[in-house]
Amino acid sequence: MRKVNFFQSIHLKFVLIYVLLIALAMQIIGVYFVRELEDTLLENFKTSIEDRMSPLEYSITEEIKADLAGERSDDEPSLQESIQVLLGGLNSEDIEEVRIIDARNRVLGTSDDNNQPVVGQRMNNELLQRMFIEGGPPPNSLNETYVDRETGERMWVLAMPLIEGSDVIGAIHVESRIENVYSQMDQINGILAGGTAISLVITAILGVLLAQTITRPIADMRSHAVDMAKGNFSRKVKVYGHDEIGQLAITFNNLTKRLQEARVTTEAEKRKLSSVLSYMTDGVIATDRRGRVILINDPAAAMLSVSRETVLSMSLPELLGIEDEYSFEDLSSQNESLILNFGTQAKPYILRCNFSAIQKETGFVSGLIAVLHDITEQEKIDAERREFVANVSHELRTPLTTMRSYLEALAEGAWEDEEIAPQFLHTTQTETERMIRLVNDLLQLSKMDSRDYRLNKDWVNFIAFYQRIIDRFDMGRSQNVSFKVKLPKEPVYAEIDTDKMTQVLDNIISNALKYSPEGGQIGFKVELKEREKEMVISVSDQGVGIPRENLKNIFERFYRVDKARTRQLGGTGLGLAIAKEMITAHGGQVWASSVEGRGTTIYFTLPYDPESEDEWA
């Protein structure tokens, strides 16, 4: 899993959100506080100026009234002098200048000693003109704020009317330094900004510490989740507390335990399923809902002669070679087995395929299971059984038909003919003996096919035993055929059933004599293979031979290369089949080689014990 960048981590996001919230709160509080404080300071400043001017307003009004009434004596100070005395000491840090104006806009006095020349002059002031010009009830005080062009400071001007009855008899014009209030606000803003910065730093530190209490368990759970994704379920998340995150950690540990148990169970079931699929003889193929192969076991891959890697994601009809006849939807609804013939004329190979759809409760088909059975041997056995029944029926029907014909002829009076009757009886006797041989051979095969079949084995010198059988055929042969014998001089001991082995050799040698031409030669040979501890016995003739395409079938029951000649020679077609069964029962193998027109050689092997030669000697 990709490592989380610090700038993308929840730790930083949590701290940033926490700090931004605090900063926003402090900003809102600061703005509200500064605005209210500014309004309060300005209001207090203006109120204090007005309060300081209230006593002056009364005194100036009385002086102007006395002057207008002519009540001032000659020895009393003039109006300007009295006003100048009243204005003395008004200049302060806040008040820049106080002027007294009469009703004709003339300056009666000023508190600025350096600005005395303005006394007696008319004052053109818009604020005063507005106050004097406005009619109606006596006007209230007017004020305004402006910026001094020379100093750049803000000044607050107050015009207070001097009223006698309903008439304005003068005004007090006050210029005050309201810039001091804004300077104080700047200082307060600076203090507030510094406090905000310090608070944010402290908040950030506390946010980091607080974030760790939340992000540390989350980081542990993330690390544990990464280990779980890699298959490690042994770790546990540390529980830091019993809050929601602690409960989450406890739940996470329980989930890990359940997942570990589920994984163990799943792995066990998976191993069981894998073992079942691997060791079952039938082939199994599973597909997804689109018909693509997602699983195939080894027997199925071997049956279809494909590799598992190449068939994954291949469509099932394409894999089975039936895409031209069936679609995946057809196979999903296929209730009967399909017979797949992959064989050739030389090598049959037949599979039976059964299909089972994987359906959900809703009926939706999510996949398909195909089970393959190799029925080649079963089909071969069925074919052999049918052929066996047909051959037995044919072999019995031919002599029975012949016997019935001759017996019917004898019953109709042919028995009285001294020349024909003996021939008919001889033919009937020959066919009867042929049927007896056939029945005996069938009984012999039946015994060998049964599970109760046992061999009466004994240790014998096989060379001497083989030589006696050869001598017996040599003395009793009627054809002009020579024998060529090549046997080991030393004894070779093998554990065999002498009766059964005599029957094997009789069948093989009899066939060699039947198919050998006049003047031909039959060879007998025994070759020892000490490493394999087996001997190879061979009987060869110089007959017509067997075609290559028929050679592999001569050991099958009732198989004849030349059926007409075999029946003419009295064969049942079971001799070599019986010989094969008996040799196999002795632990050996049998095969043949032949060149058409030059003869045939029958080989078979028997195990022997080289060490027993010294004991017998």
Pair 335, 407 in one domain? no
pLDDT of residue 255: 85
Tell me, yes or no, whether 197 lies in a domain.
Answer: no
pLDDT of residue 538: 93
**CATH number, domain at 285?**
3.30.450.20
- List 351's β-bridge partners, or say none: 340, 374
Cα dihedral sign, 501-504-507-510: negative
Look at residues 341, 358, 374 and tell me which one is the last residue of a structural domain. Answer: 374
What string of DSSP letters covers 397-421?
HHHHHHHHHHHHHHHTTGGG-TTHH
Cα dihedral sign, 580-586-589-595: negative
pLDDT of residue 6: 52
Tell me, yes or no, whether 180 lies in a domain.
Answer: yes
Predicted model pTM: 0.41
Cα 327 to Cα 230, 292, 330, 351, 357: the distances in Å are 40, 12, 5, 19, 14
pLDDT of residue 566: 46
Pair 333, 421 in one domain? no
Pair 137, 32 in one domain? yes
Q: Which domain holds residue 121?
A: 10-184
Over residues 223-236, the pLDDT tens digits come to: 777 877 777 777 77
Pair 312, 426 in one domain? no
CA distance 326 to 335: 13
Tell me, yes or no, whether 207 lies in a domain.
Answer: no
Mean pLDDT, the chain cut into blocks of 10 residues (617 residues total)? 54 75 83 85 85 82 77 72 77 80 82 81 77 61 79 84 79 84 85 84 80 75 78 77 78 84 83 75 86 86 85 86 86 83 80 85 80 84 72 70 79 76 79 74 66 76 91 79 90 89 87 85 89 90 84 75 50 74 88 88 89 53
361: exposed, middle or buried (C-beta count within 10 Å: 0-12, 13-18, 19+)?
exposed
pLDDT of residue 524: 92
Tell me, yes or no, whether 230 lies in a domain.
Answer: no
Tell me, yes or no, whether 125 lies in a domain.
Answer: yes
Tell me, yes or no, whether 495 lies in a domain.
Answer: yes
Question: What is the phi-psi region of residue 9: left when phi exceeds 0, alpha when psi lies from -120 to 50, beta otherwise?
Answer: beta
Pair 367, 394 in one domain? no
Locus of tokens 């024909």: 420
**CATH number, domain at 471?**
3.30.565.10
Pair 292, 178 in one domain? no
The percent helix, strand, coil of the chain (3-state, each to 5) is 50, 20, 30
Pair 482, 594 in one domain? yes
Pair 423, 464 in one domain? no
Over residues 501-549, the pLDDT tens digits come to: 888 888 888 888 888 888 888 999 999 888 888 999 999 998 888 888 7
**CATH number, domain at 407?**
1.10.287.130
Cβ count within 10 A of residue 24: 10
pLDDT of residue 449: 63
Over residues 269-300, the pLDDT tens digits come to: 878 877 777 777 788 888 888 889 888 888 88
**Strand locations in 185-258, DSSP E?**
none
Locus of tokens 């395929």: 353
Pair 400, 309 in one domain? no
Overall domain count for the chain:
4
Pair 395, 299 in one domain? no
H or E element: which one contains 97? strand 95-102
Look at residues 395, 426, 449 and tell me which one is the last residue of a structural domain. Answer: 449
pLDDT of residue 35: 86
Pair 515, 584 in one domain? yes
Look at residues 398, 417, 449 and tell me which one is the last residue of a structural domain. Answer: 449
pLDDT of residue 244: 75
Tell me, yes or no, whether 238 lies in a domain.
Answer: no
Q: Which of 277, 271, 233, 273 is nearest to 255 (CA)?
A: 233
pLDDT of residue 569: 46
Pair 299, 392 in one domain? no
Tell me, yes or no, whether 265 lies in a domain.
Answer: no
